[in-house]
Chain A
Amino acid sequence: MLGQIAYALPFLAEGFALTLWVSLLVVVLSLIAGVVFGVGLVYGPAPLRWAVRIFSDTVRGIPILVLIFFVYYGMPAVGVHLQSFWAAVLALTLFKTAQVVEYLRGAVASIPKGQSEAAMAIGLTFRQRLTYVIFPQAFRRFLPPWINGVTDAVKGSALVSLLGITDLMQAINQVIGRTYEAMPLYILGALLYFGVNYALSLASRRLEQRFAFIRE
């Protein structure tokens, strides 16, 4: 039994690497898009605020799985054909972006209005106010839910296996299909997912402590 699993290890490692790659892409892309749209939601003109609000509420109200199928199977109907890999990344990124928007909005809203006013009063421009006054303070509020979201992204990436993409989950299922060793393989998979997420939450705790000097 162990021999068979050992034989499959390189294959599993490839799946694991793909899981990490998908997660990383989704986390980075959703962070960028979420911060941009989040700033739009808090400070933008009314039409932009409305657009972001509708996007965020809609996407958060749909199961990720539906979103993945929609992007992969639905969008070709309007002429958009994506490879299964990119369809999966896009769907997961949309979902994460909607969450990042909310984390950012909450974190920025928690900064007292007087901070912006004091920054305005010394002549800082909008961008400078965000960079030097608002974001450094909002960061501490943003971090814990965001890291939670990152671990969700790693776990959620297992859904891409449903598009036939050979991520860790898919690799495990295929090896089980050949070896019928379900239990040890699922335990191995669980340990790998857990290991990544545990490392993330440790890193998050470190970061939070580093920024704990900011009041509250």
Chain B
Amino acid sequence: MATTSDNSPALLDIAEVSKSFGSVEVLRSVSLKVAKGEVVAIIGPSGSGKTTLLRCVNFLESYDSGSIRIDGKEVGFRDGGARQRRSERDLAAMRAETGMVFQGFNLFPHLTAAGNIMLGLTKVRGKSSGEARSIADHWLGRVGLAHKADSLPAELSGGQQQRVGIARAVAMEPKILLLDEITSALDPELVGEVLAVVKSLAEDGMTMVMVTHEMAFARDASSRIVFMADGGVSAVGPPKEVLAAETTNERLRTFLARFRASQF
């Protein structure tokens, strides 16, 4: 897996991004570079800004200052000095370059599993419905749901719905896949099947940024771990370093200790 140093070109470049909700500062000058093929896990206590940061990457949330670039292109604002929000059409086109999988699945309930995947392919990518269907079938096969192509979301288990959610995102061939606590709403016995899919995507070289509470998974599947606290990046590095018990970072040690305690 690739690692990032300062001179390798970053696919995703988050630079000094800050954001406040009213008087609460949720992101404090966050910087993070992600190289192509990297899998970055963001961990941290709730309220630390992990999810907000992820949602800024595809501009589901705006931010007050700083910049976020994908392949060198500013995501939410027009190129040039003034912070002018991109047009609706441009934003849509930019968002199509990233895929997102949600904690609550957010499948479209009126469309079948295949229909969920086909919508973006036909309306955004301009593929014919036949072409879109065969891509949908391919990805449903990849996530082990070829036999559920014509099922509605309500007819699927949580784990199956989330696998469709992943298929819907990757079928668009995004440059980066954003995963927002994708197993948090699942029954424990369904978590494994979803993580297995994520792992196989990582092995294929898909660039991923994931917010997760699955510490073991973050350790095994990611190339780097980012620990966020109080809206800032508190620690970043390879899993072994960040998750080491003897860390000198006070916040991180407290977080990990609490996490380890809750596991047993």
Contact = CB atoms under 8 A, between A and B. Distances in A.
B1 interface: no
A118 B96 CA distance: 11
Interface residues of B, number: 29
A215 B109 contact: yes
A82 B153 CA distance: 53
A114 B162 CA distance: 14
B260 interface: no
A119 B153 CA distance: 16
A128 B108 CA distance: 13
Contacts of A120: 58, 60, 92, 95
B95 A121 contact: yes
Nearest to B88: A126
Contact of A122 (B88, B104, B172): B172
Interface in A100-128: 112, 114-115, 117-126, 128
Interface stretch (B40-48, B119-127, B197-205, B248-256): B119-127
A115 B89 contact: no
B217 interface: no
Nearest to B121: A122
B147 interface: no
Contacts of B88: 125-126
Interface stretch (A132-140, A169-177, A182-190): A132-140
B52 to A, nearest CB: 13
B107 A124 contact: no
Interface string A37-80: 00000000000000000000000000000000000000000000
Nearest to A213: B152
A202 interface: no
B247 interface: no
Contact of B96 (A114, A123, A133): A123
A122 B169 contact: yes
Nearest to B124: A123
B232 interface: no
B109 A122 contact: no
A24 B154 CA distance: 37
Contacts of B153: 215
A109 B10 CA distance: 40
Nearest to A211: B110
Contact of A123 (B92, B104, B107, B110): B92
B93 interface: yes
B110 A137 contact: yes
A125 B99 contact: no
Contacts of A2: none
A214 interface: yes
The 9 A-B pairs of least Cβ separation, nearest first, read: A123-B96, A122-B120, A118-B106, A114-B106, A121-B100, A123-B124, A125-B92, A215-B109, A123-B95
Interface of A: 112, 114-115, 117-126, 128, 132-133, 136-137, 213-215
